[in-house]
């Protein structure tokens, strides 16, 4: 792929802006300054350095973030800053978006991509991709509440019962739930329907991918597609 197309595809601006990066000597490959926009580069395993930062080439972006509280999963947030503001400009430029949404006060594993087909697969109930949440509750968790969440609770806007794929008490006032669909405020509403109230909520896992212990709130890293759902 031509160098100028590599830069453009990875979100480093308009074609003219990408050429300007080259004119100013701001792009390197293995310590060599790249200045020919038409130089042909193999993209397999390609890592270029732009303004001193290493960027691996990805035909389609896929990354995870430890979402902190106080951020909205929207390009046009209403009351809090957008979680997209925590990403570097090239990723925003290539219009990555969250795969599903977490409420502004919900923390934990959040995925982003610019692959629309992947977003559909990972969020559609048809594919049954599990998401694991840990909810701190206002009141002690009872066996009856766990049984209700497993058998199904009715939400006010849906006559059909909504069930957790798995549910257990992980503390005196804590629940761990696995869901395979994503309705609006689903965990909070399910727990409220079972007779308790969520005081804090974190997503621990999405598919086969778990929130890494060494990924601090607000930090992000690249993800391989197979790490989420092998064979998807």
Active-site residue list: 103
**Nearest of 75, 118, 81 to residue 99 by alpha carbon:** 118
What is the rounded distance in angstroms from the CA atom of residue 160 to the CA atom of residue 154?
6
* Category of 87 on φ-ψ map: left (φ > 0), alpha (ψ -120 to 50) or beta: beta
CA 135, distance to chain mean position in Å, is 19
Helices 143-151, 186-193: inter-axial angle, 10-degree rounding: 120
CA pair distance 184, 156, nearest whole angstrom: 12
Kindly report the number of other CB atoms within 10 A of residue 21's CB atom: 20
Q: Using CA atoms, how far apart are residues 153 and 131, in angstroms rounded to an integer?
A: 18
DSSP strand pairing (198-206 vs 107-113): parallel
Give the number of other CB atoms < 10 A from CB of residue 191: 27
- Asked if 66 and 223 touch (Cβ cutoff 8 Å), the reply is no
């Amino acid at each position: 792929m031509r160098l100028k197309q590599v830069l453009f595809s990875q979100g480093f601006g308009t074609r003219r802006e990408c050429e300007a990066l080259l004119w100013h000597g701001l792009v390197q490959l293995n310590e060599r300054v790249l200045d020919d926009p038409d130089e042909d580069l193999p993209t397999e395993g390609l890592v270029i350095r732009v303004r001193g930062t290493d960027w691996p080439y990805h035909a389609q972006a896929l990354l995870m973030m430890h979402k902190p509280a106080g951020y909205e999963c929207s390009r046009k947030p209403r009351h809090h800053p957008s979680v997209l503001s925590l990403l570097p400009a090239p990723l925003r430029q290539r219009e990555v978006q969250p795969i599903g949404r977490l409420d502004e006060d919900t923390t934990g594993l959040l995925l982003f991509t610019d692959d629309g087909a992947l977003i559909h697969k990972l969020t559609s109930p048809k594919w049954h991709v599990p998401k694991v949440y840990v909810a701190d509750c206002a009141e002690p968790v009872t066996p009856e509440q766990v049984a209700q969440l497993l058998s199904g609770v009715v939400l006010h806007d849906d006559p059909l019962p909504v069930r957790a794929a798995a549910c257990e008490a992980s503390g005196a006032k804590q629940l761990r739930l696995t869901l395979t669909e994503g309705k609006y405020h689903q965990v909070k509403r399910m727990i409220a329907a079972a007779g308790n109230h969520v005081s804090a909520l974190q997503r621990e896992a999405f598919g086969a991918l778990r929130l890494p212990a060494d990924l601090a709130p607000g930090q992000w890293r690249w993800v391989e597609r197979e790490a989420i759902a092998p064979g998807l």
